[in-house]
Amino acid sequence: MKFFADTAEIADIQRLAATGLIDGVTTNPSLINKSGRDFIEVTKEICALTDGPVSAEVIALDHATMMKEANVLRKIAENVCIKVPLTIDGLKTCKALTDEGAMVNVTLCFSAAQALLAAKAGATFVSPFVGRHDDNGFDGMQLIADIRLIYDNYDYNTQILVASVRHAIHILEAAKIGADAITAPPAVIEGLFRHILTEKGIEGFLADWAKTDQSIL
């Protein structure tokens, strides 16, 4: 399963990239706003920190302008993945860009029918937002299971990128269903490393080791 960091904070990406466990980065206009950085500049810096896809989102709502924006974003680096919203114009743009060989992440997916359309448009990734789905009284993980079933029925290559992840259980459930990737805030990814019994175990081993009066080095 691929792990993407859902952030535009350079320090967070550097810290996560150093673990060797991060396969790419996703950003969106809200995350760019939160970073306080220039969109193009920060995207360039992020692309240099990972070999994996870095999702950068178009702002326009019409196909022609989306294409113009995508062409600007594609010049930033080889690993830029153009993020388009799940609308008719977004999917039209997705089709045109993937036909040209660009990576495309179709974002703001909230139904299996929408995900089916994204696959038909040749999307590299589809991003179903599980957290926002749950927040509104729907079952986010059922959406992931439905998309997995549909994609497997037709051997679609579009990767399911579980987005709007709020906690570790979302990641575990997505992995059990067989989602291809998740994108999560750095704090959620870092939370996966921690377990109280691991910490207690280390404490106990170190206390006993001290009593042996030995050293490895």
Q: Which residues are catalytic?
A: 83
Kindly tell me which of 28 and 43 has the beta carbon lying closer to ligand E4P: 28
Q: How far is residue 2's CA from residue 124's CA, in Å, rounded to a whole number?
A: 13
Listed ranges 15-23, 127-135, 143-151, 171-179: which one lies at the site for ligand E4P (CB under 6 A): 127-135
Q: Which residue, 33 or 198, is less far from ligand E4P as judged by CB?
A: 33
| Contact flag: residue 164 with ligand E4P (CB under 6 A) | yes
Which range of residues in 14-22, 129-137, 139-147, 209-217 is near ligand E4P by CB under 6 A?
A: 129-137
Residue 107 Cβ, how far from ligand E4P at the closest point, in Å?
5
* Residue 198: burial class (beta carbons within 10 Å; 0-12, 13-18, 19+): exposed
CB of 53 to ligand E4P, least distance (A): 11
Closer residue to ligand E4P in complex, CB, 32/204: 32
Give the contacts of 133 (CB within 8 A, at least 6 positions apart): 110, 139, 140, 143, 164
Which run of H or of E encompasses 181? Answer: strand 181-184
Closest approach, Cβ 125 to ligand E4P, in A, equals 9
Q: Which of residues 15-34 bind ligand E4P (CB under 6 A)?
A: 26, 28
Residue 75 CB, nearest distance to ligand E4P (Å)?
A: 21
> Structure tokens of 147?
């998309």
Closest residue by Cα to residue 105 from 120, 85, 75, 78: 85
Q: Helices marked H in the chain — which ranges?
A: 10-17, 29-35, 39-49, 63-74, 88-99, 112-120, 130-135, 140-154, 168-177, 186-191, 196-212
Among 131, 178, 186, 191, binds ligand E4P (CB under 6 A): 131
Which x/- pattern, by CB under 6 A, does the window 192-211 give for ligand E4P?
--------------------
User: How near is the Cβ of 181 to ligand E4P at its closest, in Å?
Assistant: 10
C-alpha distance across the termini of the chain, in Å: 36
Could you tell me which residues come within 8 angstroms of residue 22 by beta carbon, excluding any fewer than 6 positions away? 3, 4, 5, 13, 16, 50, 52, 189
6 binds ligand E4P (CB under 6 A): yes
Binding site for ligand E4P (CB under 6 A): 6, 26, 28, 107, 127, 129, 131-132, 163-164, 183
